[in-house]
Chain A
């Protein structure tokens, strides 16, 4: 059963990927789109009768995507973690502990969520509220597919395809202009101050891989969780050339804080000041801002190349 649904998801993503290409080539469709639409989302096929005007987003990434494709004015409520963009109508709704009754008070005609926690999908379906599940992306192509899907669901197909095209173009430009190295530069992506990290098999790891960086966390991932906790000894031994801190907001980390850790002043990245603070939110989501992040990584690479 699980495998079947996984296959369906894959097919849906493939289909979404294909349609992106076609609409990207011929910008003919009107922004309003044609309703009713049926969308093959992660939770199966979802029919949306008319252009939704009261969307509830329980996923910070989906919120960013909806606003980026111009569907922001249709969004009535977003969850307590959706802090971007600033004009998003933040509420006390939770995506971790969703309360269906609380969601229903906003009279949504579409709910977007990233996780089907506590039978969220079936509960909402019971009270005839359509739900789109847009789970954590594994690759950037997954992100494109989700943007396209949200475009179809909200009547913003052409804006969605414009966004996808512009993301693709920007990424191509960054990748093309990135400095080349004979040996791939090593990096350490820190998720919190107890040294949890993300490997190349994760979404964020796949973004670094676009620029040919080598992840020091990869050998640590025997459990294949993608998010191993590294030992301090190993990090110091591995001596990554660049350190990316994805724990500036959660745990207040910075170059100064890293310098104070026992033994860390030995690291060449710390000595050279190549400890790059990131916005925790941007790198833990799979939204359009991931391109800004890629730009930051490229800047760090240019800096590294210059120093060499």
Chain B
């Protein structure tokens, strides 16, 4: 009798885990829904929640529009608030799952989406676009240039990471990333100083901007972010194997180098796209994955899907704070996330030995 129940119990463990995972995912989706609703109902301009709700469901097919919003209010809701919430969600999700992916690929709890120089590269790209193009075209060119810059930086870091004796270890990659980051930041600062009249625009971009978000931004990043998320999610089991260490993983028949390459490319591509439209929003990529590790466990099968929902919810809420705290003035979103992120970062640092 005892043996039977033990066998039953053994069988029950994966089922219970799956239930627990589904439970967390449900909570994550609920959080995201709540954050999105709050983001849509609350803003510097008061719109009656009932009317907002009516308007939003009228976008669905076969639902009649019974809302009483003026043309102006409708524009505020559908052309400003909605794309901003969607973009904040996409960027938050991207930074979070990319952060988690980097942390897994490099087995380093302090890795963030900007680790391999994506931020510095994007910053350099954006600065070049601002400094060297005609003022009118630079705002259209900026996301493209930032995206290109981020990819160049990450590729460079990846190429350099192997340079030494041909071996590309996680540590040598991180160090190469730091070298690339410093170099690109220096180049960017140099250009900025040479053309100090563009300082304001560059600075505004660095602080992060969802202020001017529109549907074109959403469309711009959607393909990269979707593909990146799909690729990383497909590798969630292999990321779990990587946590055992390269030798163990190799012994289990996992091509660690290949997994790391694919995951890093997917995360970098998504990060580059997010950075291109939103500027540098710090700490999301660190705090969200770590909060999830603390509350829901360390398996990437749990962390990655939750990163998408909680990351999106977190940035939507952070952006809500950014646009309402000083309303009708804006608080740069980078300030909001760093304000909550920096203290948390310190706590993670304190506990990082335990978490490794």
Interface residues of A (CB under 8 A from B): 80-81, 94, 96-97, 191-196, 219-223, 228-234, 236-239, 248-252, 254, 257, 261-263, 265-266
Quick check: B72 and A266 within 8 Å, CB to CB?
A: yes
Give bound CA distance, A238 to B79, whole Å: 16
29 contacts between A and B (CB under 8 A): A96-B199, A192-B204, A193-B212, A194-B209, A194-B211, A195-B211, A220-B327, A220-B329, A228-B330, A229-B211, A230-B329, A231-B328, A232-B212, A233-B328, A234-B44, A236-B76, A237-B44, A237-B76, A249-B135, A250-B135, A250-B197, A250-B200, A251-B201, A261-B214, A262-B80, A263-B75, A263-B79, A266-B72, A266-B75
Chain A contacts for B214, CB-based, 8 A: 261-262
Interface string of B138-153 (1 = CB under 8 A from A): 1100000000000000
Bound-state Cα–Cα, A231 to B111, Å: 33
Give B215-237 as 1s and 0s: 1 = Cβ < 8 Å from A's Cβ atoms. 10000000000000000000000
Q: Is the CB of A252 within 8 A of B71?
A: no
> CA A222 – CA B138 in complex, angstroms?
32
A174 to chain B, nearest CB (A): 29
Across-interface contacts of B327 in A (CB, < 8 A): 220, 231, 234
| Residues of B in contact with A (beta carbons under 8 Å apart) | 43-45, 71-72, 75-76, 79-81, 83, 134-139, 193, 196-201, 204, 209, 211-212, 214-215, 323, 326-330, 332
Distance between Cα atoms of A253 and B323 in the complex (Å)? 23
**B201 and A250 form a contact (CB under 8 A):** yes
Q: Is the CB of B71 within 8 A of A81?
A: no
Specify which chain B residues have a CB less than 8 angstroms from the CB of A239 in the assembled complex: 72
Complex CA gap A266/B78 in Å reads 12
Inter-chain contacts of A252 with B (CB < 8 A):
134-139
- Cα–Cα, bound, A262→B328 (Å): 18
Whether A233 contacts B139 in the complex (CB less than 8 A), given A194-B204, A194-B211, A266-B75, comes out as no
Q: Which residues of B contact A254 (CB under 8 A)?
A: 136
Query: In whole Å, how far is A97's beta carbon from the nearest beta carbon of chain B?
Result: 6
The reply to whether B197 and A231 form a contact with Cβ atoms under 8 Å apart is: no
Q: A223-B326, A229-B332, A236-B80 are in contact. List 8 more A-B contacts (CB 8 A).
A: A193-B139, A194-B209, A222-B326, A229-B329, A237-B45, A251-B138, A252-B136, A252-B137
Distance A220 CA – B237 CA, assembled complex (angstroms): 49
Determine how close the nearest CB of chain B comes to the CB of A98; give it in whole angstroms. 12
Distance, CA A231 to CA B81, complexed state (A):
10
Asked if B71 and A266 sit within 8 Å, CB to CB, the answer is yes
Q: Shortest Cβ distance from A260 into chain B, in angstroms?
A: 9
Chain B residues with CB below 8 A from A97, complex form:
193, 196
Q: A221-B329, A233-B80 are in contact. Are A262 and B215 (CB under 8 A)?
A: yes
Please, which residues of chain B bring their CB within 8 A of the CB of A193? 139, 212
B141 to chain A, nearest CB (A): 11
In angstroms, how far is the closest chain A Cβ from the Cβ of B253? 51
In the bound complex, residues from chain B placing their C-beta under 8 Å from that of A196 are 200, 204
Partner of B72, one of A192, A219, A223, A237: A237
Q: Which residues of chain B are within 8 angstroms of A250 by Cβ–Cβ distance?
A: 135, 197-198, 200-201
Q: Decide: B81 and A233 in contact? CB cutoff 8 A.
A: yes
The CA-CA distance from A99 to B165 in the complex, in Å, is 44
The 8 Å CB contact of B212, one of A94, A194, A221, A234, is A194
The verdict on A228 contacting B329 (CB below 8 Å), with A97-B193, A262-B83 known, is yes
Complex Cα spacing A61 to B122, Å = 34
* B72 and A81 contacting across the interface, CB-CB below 8 Å: no
Counting chain B CB atoms within 10 Å of each CB, the highest count among A219, A231, A234, A265 belongs to A231
Query: How far apart sit A233 and B328, CA to CA, in the bound complex (Å)?
Result: 8
The answer to whether B197 touches A81 (Cβ under 8 A) is: yes
Residues of B within 8 A of A194 (CB): 204, 209, 211-212
| In the complex, chain A residues whose CB is within 8 Å of the CB of B211 | 194-195, 229, 231-232
- Residues from chain A with a CB closer than 8 A to the CB of B71 are 266
Residues from chain A with a CB closer than 8 A to the CB of B81 are: 233
What residues of B have a CB within 8 angstroms of the CB of A265 in the complex?
A: 75
